[in-house]
Structure 1
Amino acid sequence: MSTIKDVARRAGVSISTVSYALSGKRSVSEETRSRVEAAVRALRYRPNAGARILASARTQILALSAPMHDHTYPAAFMTFVRAVTQAAHDHDYDVVLLTECDDAACESISRVVSTGLVDGVVLMDVVGEDARVPLLRALGVPSAVIGLPEDREGMSCVDMDFGRAARMCVARLADAGCVQIGLVGQPQALYDRGLTFAVRFREAFQDECRERGLGAAVTTSDAPGAVARLRTSLHGLDAFVLDCGEYAVEQVLDELRETGEHRLVGAAQGLSIVVGGPSFDPGRFDPPLDAVPVDPVRSGSTAVSLLLGQVDGGTAESVELYAPSWVRHGSVRNGGGLA
């Protein structure tokens, strides 16, 4: 692959002259520019990222800050990464993936922004008090957030309305006649980290159950025996909301298979189950499960659009919470869960 040094040698000029000729930052003679352009064509030279920065105010590169930690669920993680990457590609942008956590995440963002490598930054895996948010505000770089941090001043955010999703789950179960509802939530570490989607869902579930006078109990998905734990806390358990990864969903179904209850899921006298906020297909389980799914493609494409709007001179502050929708597979009894 040819380098800018090769172009300079062939054109008989200095490397800086090649940079000036390609970027237009300083005037060069037409004869010199012609020699440089002829050398570029002959060598099929393509400027690297640094040269592209010189040639244009844009690098056509975005950074995606997507921290990976011990409790990252790889399938969901990659679904969102792919959504952001595809949306960027649709706008002729490449994506640099930054997977560091906590202080290291801030350091990596500062590094790529300070070097001029990227036109903007997308954040995901957002916590309530997220140090990346004030950093981006201080850096003044175009940015968008998939999630809902507590400090949103001057930020563009997009997410599903997880609170509304949880309330929808409880409302549909209540309409189906369920009165004792257990929530299998995310691993405890995600609540400890303050992952906002998990906290918003759990709080709204508890609020909706309390407002409707329903029995409710909550457990986490990071230990086996979720069904047994909920039954210890809640007498007459007749419904589950599963706000957890697909492996944890399968563990719940395995517990029900041990007692044969899985055969009556969705039946008039059986258990009702709905999955809250999955990025996977809940229809693939046995039995298939109703769900209120998140839409990674919508989240990713909206985040990229909000960011590029800022690159084009648009305003930064915007919060878009899109409404959840119900997908029915027959796991909620008595016709509950009809769209």
Structure 2
Amino acid sequence: MVTIADVAARAGVSTSTVSYALSGKRRISGPTRERVMRAVADLGYHPHAGARSLASNRSNVIAVMVPLRPGMYVPVIMEILMAMTTAARTYGEDILLLTGDEGTDGVRRVAASGLADAAVLMDVELHDERIPILRELAMPAVAVGLPAEPGELACIDLDFEAAGALCADHLADLGHDDVALIGVSHSVYRRYIGFAARTLSGFLSRARERGLRATHRPCDGTFDSVVATLARILDERPRTSGFAVQNEEAAGPLTNLLRHCERDVSVVAICPDQVALGCSPPLSSVPIPADEMGRGAIRLAMAQLSGHPTTGATLIPPRLVVRNSSGGRAPRRS
């Protein structure tokens, strides 16, 4: 059986350094940690969970709280979770996935049970009731999302407000005067989920700055819902020619419907690359950095567990990938 001494010998470090690299109890330099983790992978070393927990007074588990509610696009959630799981293993940590909608009771249960050393919150609302409980319990925690007032809470997210603004700028630069944002479902807006509210704010604010006539309509993502939403927009604002969409399930049907439009239109989406590339034509898009968000959340959690508190928001700047759905230029009206 492979022992910690075998790992230390392969990495050229002491056994205590291997222990610190796996437990996160002390700061280890990046190159040293990388050598240790490479040795662990090469040798197939698996620390004994019970002994490790007793020695460190830690469970070596990070709880990820992601209540699966209507309106969530599960493939993006799964991509973030996979990135977290992979990153956690490099620190010798396991992920405990909690998908029930338990709210504050769930936070208190996890903290009281000792099941996990830290918590990662997903599906973060602007006024998320779980956050004050985490502050009260002083439990190490990270939010994948941005509440209205993060305070001392460490957060990581795409800068969705900037993403909304970037979409408005792109449509304005193409010459579109009348633009629309087709958003996520009504239920997501009603719960004041941060990513949706911030995108809407950024899009409408930038549209006003650029002198655009802008509207916004939620959409459930079904084909019938997309048809009804588009019909309503064009009925209320017949000259709308620039569309931004923040709804992965609506992107394909919307693109197909607009292909039959008798005038030049442009579409830009905030979505994963696989969604944008799966549409015809491929959508110009602001990609969702799911892998970066997941790995970043674990990095922030481990920094706290290593005695290096992290606070404030880490916002990932959005980037625009221009594809065929917005290649043309609309005639600007006087």
Normalised-by-shorter TM-score class: 0.7 to 0.9
Which residue identity lines up with residue 192 of structure 1 in the other structure? Answer: R
1:145-156 matched pairs, under 5 angstroms: 145-156=143-154
Q: What is aligned with 2:239?
A: 236
Query: Among residues 281, 289, 311, which one is paired with 2:305 in the alignment?
Result: 311
1:92 positional shift: 1.9
- SS of the residue corresponding to residue 224 of structure 1 reads helix
Conserved 8 A contact 1:53-1:117 = no
Query: Among residues 253, 256, 276, which one is paired with 1:251 in the alignment?
Result: 253
Which residue identity lines up with residue 274 of structure 1 in the other structure? Answer: V
Residue 302 (structure 1) aligned with residue 296 (structure 2): yes
Structure 2 CA distance for aligned equivalents of residues 212 and 171 of structure 1: 8
1:275 positional shift: 0.3
Q: What is aligned with 2:92?
A: 92
Which residue identity lines up with residue 161 of structure 2 in the other structure? Answer: G
- SS of the residue corresponding to residue 124 of structure 2 reads coil
Q: What is aligned with 1:320?
A: 314
Structure 1 CA distance for aligned equivalents of residues 204 and 111 of structure 2: 41
Which residue identity lines up with residue 247 of structure 2 in the other structure? Answer: C
Conserved 8 A contact 1:64-1:123 = yes
Query: Among residues 155, 170, 173, which one is paired with 2:171 in the alignment?
Result: 173
Structure 1 CA distance for aligned equivalents of residues 308 and 210 of structure 2: 43
The range that moved more, 210-219 or 325-334, is: 325-334
Which residue identity lines up with residue 182 of structure 1 in the other structure? Answer: A
Structure 2 CA distance for aligned equivalents of residues 84 and 235 of structure 1: 45
Q: What is aligned with 2:76?
A: 76
Cα deviation code 1:92-140 (max 9, x no counterpart): 2110001122xx1322222222122211111111001111111111111
Residue 196 (structure 1) aligned with residue 191 (structure 2): no
Structure 1 CA distance for aligned equivalents of residues 165 and 191 of structure 2: 23
Return the index of the structure with the highest Cα Rg: 1
1:251 positional shift: 2.0
Structure 2 CA distance for partners of 1:224 and 1:273, relative to 1, 3 Å: closer
The range that moved more, 119-128 or 83-92, is: 83-92
Same amino acid, percent of matched pairs: 31
1:194 positional shift: 0.6
Residue 116 (structure 1) aligned with residue 119 (structure 2): no
1:279 positional shift: 6.5
Structure 1 CA distance for aligned equivalents of residues 255 and 324 of structure 2: 15
1:47 positional shift: 5.6
Conserved 8 A contact 1:162-1:277 = no
Structure 2 CA distance for partners of 1:280 and 1:114, relative to 1, 3 Å: farther
Which residue identity lines up with residue 97 of structure 2 in the other structure? Answer: L
Structure 2 CA distance for aligned equivalents of residues 248 and 229 of structure 1: 15
Q: TM-score, normalised by structure 2?
A: 0.79
Conserved 8 A contact 2:53-2:60 = no
Structure 2 CA distance for partners of 1:86 and 1:184, relative to 1, 3 Å: same
Query: Among residues 275, 284, 304, which one is paired with 1:281 in the alignment?
Result: 275
**Can you give the 5+ residue segments of structure 2 that lack an aligned partner in the other structure?**
1-46
Which residue identity lines up with residue 301 of structure 1 in the other structure? Answer: R
Q: TM-score, normalised by structure 1?
A: 0.77
- SS of the residue corresponding to residue 55 of structure 1 reads helix
Structure 2 CA distance for partners of 1:54 and 1:316, relative to 1, 3 Å: same
The range that moved more, 222-231 or 293-302, is: 222-231
Conserved 8 A contact 1:244-1:278 = no
Query: Among residues 157, 160, 165, which one is paired with 2:158 in the alignment?
Result: 160
**What is the alpha-carbon root mean square deviation over aligned residues?**
2.1
Q: What is aligned with 2:264?
A: 270
1:277 positional shift: 4.2
Conserved 8 A contact 1:98-1:105 = no
Conserved 8 A contact 2:159-2:316 = yes
Conserved 8 A contact 1:240-1:273 = yes
Which residue identity lines up with residue 258 of structure 2 in the other structure? Answer: L
Structure 1 CA distance for aligned equivalents of residues 160 and 174 of structure 2: 21
**Can you give the 5+ residue segments of structure 1 that lack an aligned partner in the other structure?**
1-45
- SS of the residue corresponding to residue 76 of structure 2 reads helix
Structure 2 CA distance for partners of 1:130 and 1:183, relative to 1, 3 Å: same
